[in-house]
């Protein structure tokens, strides 16, 4: 991620209530790790179930988010650079 939304959001869980009880801590589980030249990048994802020809069971995979679901910023430097290239946006 090019932002701190995952950690900033996790910091907000303590003090919230869930089913009328106080939340002690929380962590966002839909995060994948991408290895880059500079280290490891954490990117949120959506879980996907696929029905695939030749497989009797549903196949599970993840769809990596190109943009942060919290603030809308690109999740990778590549997405950021590609979005800057677009000149046809209103
Ligand atoms: Zn964000």
Q: How far is the CA of 48 from the centre of ligand 1 (A)?
A: 22
Q: How far is the CA of 61 from the centre of ligand 1 (A)?
A: 23
Q: What is the pLDDT of residues 56-70, one digit of tens each?
A: 999 999 999 999 999
Q: How far is the CA of 56 from the centre of ligand 1 (A)?
A: 38
Whole-model pTM over 0.85:
no
Q: How many CA atoms lie within 13 A of 64 on its CB side?
A: 12
CB 58 within 8 A of CB 48: no
Nearest to 41 by CA among 80, 2, 71: 2
Q: What is the pLDDT of residues 32-87, one digit of tens each?
A: 988 888 788 899 999 999 999 999 999 999 999 999 999 999 998 877 888 776 55
CB 23 within 8 A of CB 17: yes
């Amino acid at each position: 991620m090019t932002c701190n939304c995952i950690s900033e959001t996790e910091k907000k869980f303590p003090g919230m209530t869930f089913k009328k009880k106080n939340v002690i801590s929380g962590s966002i589980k839909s995060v994948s790790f991408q290895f880059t030249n500079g280290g490891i990048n954490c990117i949120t994802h959506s879980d996907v179930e696929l029905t695939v020809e030749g497989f009797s069971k549903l196949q599970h995979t993840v769809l990596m988010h190109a943009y942060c679901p919290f603030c809308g910023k690109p999740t990778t430097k590549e997405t950021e650079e590609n979005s800057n290239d677009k000149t046809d946006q209103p």
